[in-house]
Structure 1
Amino acid sequence: MRLFCLLFLISGNVIAQQLTKQEAIRLTLENNFGILIATNSIEVAKNNKGILNLGYLPRLSTSAGANYQSANSTTSFGGALNPNTGEPRADIEIEDAETQRYNAGIDLDYTLFDGLGRFYNYKRLKEEYNLTELQARETIENTILQLFTVYYEVARLSENEGILEETLRISRERVSRSNYQFEYGQNTKLNVLNAEVDVANDSINLLNTRQQLVNTKRDLNVILDNELERNFEVDTIIQFIPKLKLDEYLEKSTENNVTLLQNESNIKISDYDIKVSKSGYLPTIGLTGSYGWNENRNPPSAFFPGNVADTYTLAAGVSLTWNLFDGGSTITRVKNAKIALDNQEIIRSQVQKEVKRDIANALGNYENRLNVYKIQQQNVLTNQNNFERTKERFKLGQVTSIEFRQAQINLILAETNKNSAKYDAKIAELQLLQLTGQLLNEEF
């Protein structure tokens, strides 16, 4: 009784929402953490190549100040006589004499020419932006490949679950039939026990597969940034790209492979580094301008009355700076930049060979797995035919339970191997598409 209760729990299904491939891609592009970080990196590179970061705009600054001074003074005449009265002149005392000074000004500096350093730095930053986009594309491609690796694993386990459920159903029927035959003396208790052992094994296999399926769905939810326990069903229909279209992709693989494109971008950046460094050989021409205001409020003194003086100044100038020799720093920078460019060209030769090798290996793996899948499809048909014949003969008592079980196991292996071969071939195709630079251009 407990065994059949367990079987009832195992066979229970929960209705879940369908997660299509297109929906999985959309959620990944919108929510995946790695893709969000890559998108932010593009924004940083975009800001870096903007006009505000290139040095083409003038520098404008302003300043202002105020000073206050209060003083007490006594002026003595050292016994000098007043010419009008003939008496000694009295001391002159001034208290709380206030002196105030105010100033304000605005300064403008603009570099007219800096040896073309800004120009090539702008081109370098534009190329860095392109490189960041390529790096983001690589991140997206890797994430999409990871997405479908997990998505198809969910599909494989879902199909295997269906196979094992059908296997368990057949094994349960066999237990019922064995018990019925035993009650009427048509077989021994051993056949009943063998059938119950097979049911237990099939139950364990189904439980393990379901647990693997639950775990893999959690993995997929992490990629999609869904709730971990969200349940769903996936699309198990697989379509392969026509060979003619795949051949077209292979012909253009060197033009679209993201690794080769990144290497070309690095070469351009290194070339611009040389030109930026060479700008140190040329002079720098700049413009300066200023406008200022000063006001002095002076208190009266012993001999002069108080006064207020306002001054307005306007100045402009041109400067030329030419570093005739900087101790060899510019020469060193140019030499090192040339070495960096040479290294990038060496890396290009290496990457080109590696990419060609990877494409050849991926193509071979794909064709091999596709052939294996075709063989497994035929193998399933053969084992299905064999199992149906064995099942009929088992009902007639012409084969033993061991022979029946072996035919059943062969069919299970054939069906699960076919599922594995199908999804292995599809993943191999996706890997090939990534290497040819077409992964994001295909509809799934």
Structure 2
Amino acid sequence: MRNGLLGVLLVLGVGSNASAQVLDLETCLKMADTANLSIVNSRLDVTMNKSQISSYLTARYPKIVANADYRYNAIIQGQLLPGEIFGGAPGTYQAVKFGVPFVFSNSIQLQQILFNPQINYGISTLKIQQEVLEIQQKITERDSKTQVANTFFNLQAINKQIGFVDSNLVNIDRLIGNMEAMERQKLIVKTEVDKLRINRLNSVNGKQTLLANKDQLEMLLKILIGLPEDQKITLASDDLVEKSILVDGNTINYPEMELIGAQIRMNEEEKKGNNMAYLPSLSFVAGYNYTYNMKPEDKVRQGIPSAFLGIRLDWTLFDGLEKYYKQKVTKISHMKLENQEELLNQQLHMQTENAKRQIEIQVNSLGIAQEQLKLSQSVYKQTELQYNEGTVDSNDLVKASTDLQQSQTNLVVAYVQLRQAELEYLKNIGNIK
């Protein structure tokens, strides 16, 4: 009995509110869609990248920069000039100071990009990055919902197993009561009753283990669907684990293939960007400056305006072969991505076919487990009847009880393994809703 309960636990894996919230699988998946933090963060990544695209697009707009420079020249800057300018002898020099102590300068400049190939490349890259993030969001949603469904079915399986244990305890308590009466009448020895008491203690211990595992799974489910820790929950139907979830198993969508396809397009854009880096960038520039000069002791106050318009060309004529080697790296990366795409396609198809076969295997295992349970129930009832008639001893009764409990465990395991196989298949084809 104890080994059987531990076996189902290995397969299954892993409160102050007045009323418990009733949950079905559909409700759990909907709650996870809005409250699961992994899903929420994946959507925030998509939103953040959209803002980055908008920010990058501002490079197309004109840039206007204003500057103000208010300066006091404690020592006027000087410069040596040929002395002959001032009537001196050739070959001599004289220091001359330029400027005034107080200089107030204000300027405003405008720059408008007319042509910059790197901007167009950057925008294309960000748009593909947006696709990548959206695909990753779908993968995150799929994986999170798979975890929710798996946890939900494990909880249902534990509830079903606890129900079996409770039913067995009722039968054992009834038998112990009958045998204690027979013991008092000196019809059987105490050892016969103790064998059933040991069996009962094993069942009680197994139930406690199941309840502890149930608490862990409930806590995990609350985290996955965004419920508070103290919220009591109960599952809407304990027999849902017996119903197939293969509503639509024909629609195949491999988000991993979409992801690597987007990465290949990103690589192609990177190649274009490397080629565009050979081209120059062209900008329109304009500026206005007003400088006010003051020398109070000489009563000098003079403003000098200036302005300009122009075109600026920036062109890297030689970069030390940097772009050439970048192109080589990009080409090798492209070859690697194509190989990964082919390998991934083969792996996904293999996993899908394996998942299909696993479903067939688990369906057969479930049929065997159901038949075993029917036989075990029949054997137990017959053995109990024979024991009451005195034709078999307590060892046969305990063995029949243990076999029944093992069959019950096997049935729960078979249901869970079948649901897990279906989940794995739906996950592989990207069809968990």
Change (3 A) 1:186 1:333: same
Q: Distance in 2 between matches of 1:45 and 1:69?
A: 49
SS at structure 2 position matched to 1:203: helix
**Aligned mate of 1:292, from 263, 266, 289:** 289
Match of residue 109 from structure 1? 111
Tell me if structure 1 keeps the 8 A contact 2:21–2:231.
Answer: no
- The number of equivalent residue pairs is 389
CA deviation string 1:299-329 (max 9, x = no partner) = 464xxxx354334333221122333332211
Q: Structure 1 residue 135: deviation in Å?
A: 1.6
SS at structure 2 position matched to 1:49: helix
Change (3 A) 1:190 1:287: same
1:158 aligned partner, one-letter code: N
2:275 counterpart of 1:275: no
Q: Structure 1 residue 51: deviation in Å?
A: 4.4
CA deviation string 1:200-256 (max 9, x = no partner) = 22222222222222233233333345444544222431331458x32x22xxx3xx2
Change (3 A) 1:410 1:15: farther
Q: Structure 1 residue 133: deviation in Å?
A: 1.8
**Aligned mate of 1:332, from 314, 318, 325:** 325
Match of residue 93 from structure 1? none
Match of residue 40 from structure 1? 44
SS at structure 1 position matched to 2:316: coil
CA deviation string 1:105-140 (max 9, x = no partner) = 2111222112x3221221111111111122222222
Q: How does 1:7-406 map to 2 (within 5 A)?
A: 16-52=20-56, 55-68=59-72, 100-114=102-116, 116-228=117-229, 230-234=231-235, 235-236=237-238, 237-238=240-241, 239-241=243-245, 245-246=248-249, 248-249=250-251, 253=252, 256-299=253-296, 301=298, 306-406=299-399
Match of residue 435 from structure 1? 428
Q: Structure 1 residue 424: deviation in Å?
A: 1.4
SS at structure 1 position matched to 2:164: helix
Q: Normalising to structure 2: TM-score of the pair? A: 0.82
Q: Any gaps of 5 or more consecutive residues in structure 1? A: 1-13, 72-97
1:273 aligned partner, one-letter code: E
SS at structure 1 position matched to 2:302: strand
Q: Distance in 1 between matches of 2:60 and 2:363?
A: 58
Q: Distance in 2 between matches of 1:142 and 1:205?
A: 32
Change (3 A) 1:54 1:137: farther
Q: Distance in 2 between matches of 1:69 and 1:331?
A: 50
2:27 aligned partner, one-letter code: E
Q: Distance in 2 between matches of 1:199 and 1:327?
A: 83
Q: Distance in 1 between matches of 2:234 and 2:45?
A: 34
Tell me if structure 2 keeps the 8 A contact 1:264–1:348.
Answer: yes
Change (3 A) 1:45 1:70: closer
Q: Structure 1 residue 143: deviation in Å?
A: 1.9
Q: Structure 1 residue 52: deviation in Å?
A: 3.6
1:376 aligned partner, one-letter code: A
Tell me if structure 2 keeps the 8 A contact 1:281–1:323.
Answer: yes
Q: Distance in 2 between matches of 1:241 and 1:155?
A: 14
Tell me if structure 1 keeps the 8 A contact 2:150–2:423.
Answer: no
CA RMSD in angstroms, aligned pairs only: 2.5
Tell me if structure 2 keeps the 8 A contact 1:51–1:57.
Answer: no
SS at structure 2 position matched to 1:50: helix
- Asked which structure has the greater CA Rg, the reply is 1
Q: Any gaps of 5 or more consecutive residues in structure 2? A: 1-17, 76-99
Q: Distance in 2 between matches of 1:230 and 1:212?
A: 17
Greater CA drift, 117-126 or 17-26: 17-26
CA deviation string 1:263-306 (max 9, x = no partner) = 101001000000011112222211111122222344464xxxx3
Tell me if structure 2 keeps the 8 A contact 1:179–1:192.
Answer: yes
Higher RCO (Cα < 8 Å, 6 or more apart): 2
Tell me if structure 1 keeps the 8 A contact 2:135–2:258.
Answer: yes
Greater CA drift, 392-401 or 164-173: 392-401
Q: Distance in 1 between matches of 2:103 and 2:118?
A: 43
SS at structure 2 position matched to 1:281: coil
Q: Distance in 1 between matches of 2:58 and 2:331?
A: 23
